[in-house]
A = this chain, B = another copy of it.
Amino acid sequence: MKRIYMDHGATTPMREEVLEAMLPYLKEIHGNPSSFHSFGREARKGMDEAREKVARALGASSPEEIYFTSSGTESDNLAVKGIARALSSRGNHIITSSIEHHAVLDTVKHLGEEGFEVTFLPVDEYGMVDPKDLEAALTDRTILASIMMANNEVGTIQPVEEMARICHEKEVYFHTDAVQAIGHLPVNLEKQPFDLLSLSAHKFYGPKGIGALYVRKGTKIKQILFGGGQERKLRPSTENIPAIVGLGRAIELAVENIPEKSAALTALRDRLFKGLQEEIEDIRVNGHPTQRLPGNVNISVAYVEGESILLSLDLKGIAISSGSACTSGALDPSHVLMAMGLDHQTAHGSLRFSLGKENSEEEVDYVIESLKEIVERLRKMSSVYKK
C-alpha cells in the first residue's frame, strides 16, 4: 500500500543531504569537541561550522548567540526558566499565551507553582494573540514574554515582531518558539528584535534529538542543566556532533527559497481546504484564514470523533493527526482549540493535516476522496449525527 505522510507538524523525514553531512561524524570523526587532541579538534570544526550555519540562517550577529540543546522542548525550557532564574531578583512576572506548546506552557505553569506570577494571554477565534492584551499585561515586575511564532496545531502566525517591540519598550525580554516556523517563515534576527528563539531540527527535515536556542548577545540567562562547561556553560553535556552537523545542514537548506517553497505549499494547502469544504458537509476551518503556516490545514468534522477518523485514514495509509484527546492519551481535547472557544464536540472532531515538500496534488486529491468516504461511514453510526 502506498502511504501518504501529512503529519509534518509532528516530525519530518530527514533529507538525504542531511544524512550525508552527518555520516562522516557517525563514522570516522568521532571525537569529543572538548578534547584537546586532533580527534577533538576535527569534531569541534564540524560543530563550529554548524553553529555558523545556524547563525547565518537566522541572521544572528554572531555564532556565539547560538546554543545547541537536545530539542525544541529543552530550548523552550531553557529560555523560560533560564531567564526566570537569571532575573528573579528583578521581577517575578512572566507572560505567555494560552496556545503555546506544552514545552512553554507547562514550564510557565511550573514557575507559577514555584511562586512566579504568570499571565496566559487569551486568543481570538482564529487562535491569534492580540498585542494590546500583551501590552496591558505588562507590569514593572514583568521579566519575560514568550509567544510562539506559529502555532503547531492550527498554524496561526502570531504578530511576534510587534509584540517584541512592545516588550522592549518596557525592557522586558521576548522569547519566541519558532519550532514550527523555521523553513516556512523568513527569520532575520537583524531586523526582528527577539531576545531568544527556539528551534528543533526534526521539524525541518533535520535530525531528531537536536535543537538550538538563540540568545541575543547581552541577554541575561542561566543554565538549567548542570555539568561540564559545554556551550559556554549554558548547556553542559558532551555535544551531539553528528546531530549538530545535521542541524546545520538542515537549516541551511530550510531557509533556501522560502518564498517559492511557501507558495507551493500554500497552493497545495488551499487545494486541500477547498476540496474538503466542497466534498464534506459540516466542516469548520480552525485557525486563521490567511495568517497561517503554508502547510497547515486544520478542520473540525461535525458529528464524528477524531480518533476514529485517524484510524480509518491510517487503514488507507494516510497519516495525519488530530486534536482529539483520544489520540494523545490526554483527558481533554487540545488546549489550543479550547482556548479558541471551540466546544468539546468540535474539538474532538478536529483533524490536522500538515503538508510537506514530498506531498503532491494527487495525494491531496486522494486524501479528500478518502476522508469523504470515511466521514460518511462514521456519521452513519454516530449517536450525535443530526440528519
Residues of A at the B interface (CB closer than 8 Å) are: 3, 5, 7, 10-14, 19, 22, 26-28, 30-32, 34-40, 70-74, 76-77, 101-103, 106-107, 109-110, 200, 202, 207-210, 224-229, 236-243, 307, 310-311, 313-314, 317-322, 327-330
Contact of A36 among B19, B106, B109, B327 (CB under 8 A): B327
- Please, how many angstroms separate the alpha-carbon atoms of A11 and B209 in the complex? 18
Q: By the criterion CB–CB under 8 Å, are B242 and A39 in contact?
A: no
Q: Shortest beta-carbon distance, A100 to chain B, in Å? A: 10
Closest residue of chain B to A80 (Cβ to Cβ) is: B226
- Please, how many angstroms separate the alpha-carbon atoms of A71 and B226 in the complex? 12
Residues of chain B contacted by A241 (CB below 8 angstroms): 208
Q: Shortest beta-carbon distance, A214 to chain B, in Å? A: 18
Q: By the criterion CB–CB under 8 Å, are B238 and A71 in contact?
A: yes
With A30-B12, A70-B70 known to touch, is A77 a contact of B228 (CB < 8 Å)? Answer: no
Q: By the criterion CB–CB under 8 Å, are B240 and A209 in contact?
A: yes
Closest residue of chain B to A319 (Cβ to Cβ) is: B37
Q: By the criterion CB–CB under 8 Å, are A207 and B35 in contact?
A: no
Given contact pairs A209-B209, A224-B224, a sample of 13 additional A-B residue pairs in the complex whose CB atoms are under 8 Å apart: A7-B37, A11-B31, A36-B327, A37-B310, A38-B314, A70-B74, A71-B240, A72-B238, A73-B225, A76-B227, A106-B227, A109-B226, A110-B226
Which A-B residue pairs are the 7 nearest by beta carbons? A209-B240, A70-B70, A73-B237, A106-B226, A103-B227, A37-B319, A13-B30
With A74-B237, A209-B243, A227-B73 known to touch, is A307 a contact of B30 (CB < 8 Å)? Answer: no
- Please, how many angstroms separate the alpha-carbon atoms of A106 and B7 in the complex? 40
Q: By the criterion CB–CB under 8 Å, are A228 and B38 in contact?
A: no
Q: Shortest beta-carbon distance, A330 to chain B, in Å? A: 7
Closest residue of chain B to A225 (Cβ to Cβ) is: B77
- Please, how many angstroms separate the alpha-carbon atoms of A226 and B96 in the complex? 15
- Please, how many angstroms separate the alpha-carbon atoms of A28 and B104 in the complex? 31
Residues of chain B contacted by A228 (CB below 8 angstroms): 73, 102-103
Q: By the criterion CB–CB under 8 Å, are B35 and A319 in contact?
A: yes
Q: Shortest beta-carbon distance, A132 to chain B, in Å? A: 28
Contact of A328 among B19, B229, B242 (CB under 8 A): B229
